[in-house]
Structure 1
Amino acid sequence: MKEEKIKALELHYFSDASQTGYGVAVYLRVVYENIAPHVKFVLGKARVTPLNRKITIPRLELSAAVVSARLSSYLQRELRCGMTKQFFWVDSNVVLGYINNETKRFHTYVANRAQTIRDLTDINQWRYIRSEDNPSDDGSRGLTAKKLSLNSRWINGPPFLWEKEFVPQVDQDICYEASDVADIKKEMKSNVTSLLTKAKEDDGILKRFERFSCWYKATRAAANCLRF
């Protein structure tokens, strides 16, 4: 039997979240020159949402996206098969807004996770997918054993990955709904708040220097802090 030549290898990461939990599903798509591509389930993760505190859906979606980004580093290190392309799929425009934004300041929870994603991945690799096409939706909401065994999309991946002519396009414009805009604004830090916080921090540092009787002792203390 003639061995088909592999044209490209792709890793596709899908993430989603709900009030119950959040999950990530990863698939390897092998593109051949003359036959239809083959898709294989590589790895899946599902986590229960924290019970001791309430976290909004956009934040949970962002946490799921962070798991995708971290898994990408792990799989590239472990598989060692020369992956040429990676694609990250989310069904939340809010998450895409967090990742693509480089001008506005967000609260610590969002800012730290968005920065982690930008450090581990290329923002051009992130794309939107409809909720009904997102296989990680099954991981975030849960499946019975029977549904999981009956040809589930969690195992097989979304149908469009099996198409031979599938060519992912970069979305130039993100279409936000009113609720998306409200969620993003809720996470934005106002300039006034950040300036007041910085002023308080600066004021606290200056008060510490009042403890020293001379400039030499103050610089000596600062040098010891830097040393240790």
Structure 2
Amino acid sequence: MLTVADLSVSYGPIRALRGVSIRVGAGEIVALIGANGAGKSSLLRGITGLVPATGRVTFDGRPIDGLSTPQRVALGVAMAPEGRQIFTDQTVHENLLLGGHLLRGRPQRIAANIDRFYALFPRLLERRDQIAGTLSGGEQQMLAIARALMTEPKLLILDEPSLGLAPIITADIFRTLVGLRRDGMTILLVEQMANQALAIADRAYVLEGGSIVLEGVAATLRRDPRIREAYLGGDLAHHAA
């Protein structure tokens, strides 16, 4: 579904991403883990065209690195960004309508998708007419995911969906991601909570200093002493607290 080859991203003299190559197969959850500043968000921005990048990005069999972000979205790439970035002055329902902009002129399709995501996230249905900025952090994350799904993507990219959320809410959202994969969605998950990400992913990459330092089957990486020491110890201790 997605192949990234030798992707580099720089911000002025600072090289945030150094020749990164990853692949995401259709129907997989692929996790990308790493510490703050490792380059995870830069990789996502390079894939989606939000920042200039060198290298090759191939999506669903065609090169997209020369395309604009809206063109990539129209082909089936959707991202729920870090910090949610919902329309805080609009209602939940209006956010979903705005997410369905690619389907404008097809109101029945938009309505059917909204009904589907209200079923997926019942809490959003309860808050249908509530201003999105007044939602809890977990509800805002649900809305950000549902809004991204309104574009009917082939690939859903999630940037730190657990950020600032209570563990029980994070667990709910991760269960939803597993359900989406079961329904055929392909997911690229960037996540600091390495233990939870590796628990649901098929494969994973570890990013450090702008480069991939480890990759493999997620269950194997979860048992790797290097991963446990660097990422899982603090993660598990946090959730035990």
Same fold by TM-score greater than 0.5: no
Higher relative contact order (CA 8 A, sep 6+): 2
TM-score with structure 1 length normalisation?
0.28
Q: Which has the higher helix share?
A: 1
- TM-score between the two structures when normalised by the length of structure 2: 0.27
Say which one has the larger Rg: 1
Q: Comparing both structures, which one devotes a greater share of its residues to strand?
A: 2
